[in-house]
Amino acid sequence: MSAPFLPVTPQANVYTTSGRLLRVPLRPAPQLAPDCGAGCGHQLEPQVIRWFSRQVAANPAFTSQVRSVLLIGRHRPCPQCQQALLRFLRRFRLAGKLRRVTAVGPGRCGCARCRHQG
């Protein structure tokens, strides 16, 4: 018997030092992309990087107001996507504040760049 389907809406929850919760809706990422010529842009991690980049551009002090980041997704990321997000957050000393909740699935995206085909 397989595990029950867990409906998960991908999002990033950003908790601030002032107690606010910023819910960032993300586009669902497929578990296995057939051929992703643009790299892993469909995964959650690049979406979070783009969102953070826009926030920092609008308010340079934004990262100093972040207490923690919770990334909620359906599948574990491929190692390259995870490392890219950690490298990005490390620039702002936020890598240790990242937490992740995953419903089910292997840690691969299946794109040609990652070479993590099923």
pLDDT (0 to 100) of residue 115: 47
**Tokens for 71?**
């990334």
How far is the C-alpha of 85 from the C-alpha of 91, rounded, in Å?
Answer: 10
Q: Which amino acid is at 58?
A: A
CA distances from 78 to 2, 40, 41 (A): 23, 9, 12
pLDDT (0 to 100) of residue 77: 77
Summarised one tens digit per residue, pLDDT across range 105-116 is: 544 454 555 444
CA 17 to chain centre: 21
Report strand pairing: 21-25 vs 11-16.
antiparallel
Residue 78 has pLDDT above 70, yes or no: yes
Which has the closest alpha carbon to 48: 112, 103, 100, 8? 100
Q: Where does the pLDDT of residue 55 fall: very low under 50, low under 70, confident under 90, or very high at 90 and above? A: very high
34-38, Cβ contacts within 8 angstroms, sequence gap of 24 or more: 34/110, 35/111, 35/112, 36/109, 36/110, 36/111, 36/112, 36/113, 37/112
Q: Where does the pLDDT of residue 33 fall: very low under 50, low under 70, confident under 90, or very high at 90 and above? A: very low
Average pLDDT of every residue of the chain: 78
pTM of this structure: 0.73
